[in-house]
Structure 1
Amino acid sequence: MLSQLISTPLGRLRIVAFLEGCSFLLLGFTMILKYKYAMPKPNYVVGMAHGVLFITYVLLVLQVAYLYKWPKLKIFWAFVASLVPFGTFYAEKNLYQK
């Protein structure tokens, strides 16, 4: 199943969307560690991972939108999903299905 997802651009987008959503939620947890418990290192590590996943997500949305000829509204919602907590999980379920 995983090898089938990795083999297509849409499958890769779905995987990265899930990982990006997880990193977004984890970043919220590490912000608490940073500001309440003076532990900045977890926030730095998760923040860097989240940044890389976010950029990858944006590039994959552009690639998939071009290849699958998505309408502009769908592209817009795919980008909005990356800015809202739980948004990529919702998008994976409702936007990224064939």
Structure 2
Amino acid sequence: MDYRQPHEVLLFFGKGRNWEQGNKDCLVAQQQYYYQLQLEGKVLRTGLQVHETGLFVSLFVDSDAALFAILEQDPALREEVAEVLQAIPLATGIREAI
């Protein structure tokens, strides 16, 4: 898979280093941030994880550089109240998966 090309990514967020003492308002700002990206067509779906504390985001990016730019602007990541636990790239075509 060529990560310089457009692809979908699943992001799973969890508690960050500053979870206990951090400003939890940034978690609301995080949800609003990804909702705005959804309105712009970059985010396919968001939701709260059922069995874990944290957000789930499915987004479509032009490249990993675009993904990094999105993550750099995430309010909860900047405050280290949340962290990316897992980022899973998805092959969108059968040829990519083989």
TM over 0.5: no
Higher relative contact order (CA 8 A, sep 6+): 2
* Bigger share in helix: 1
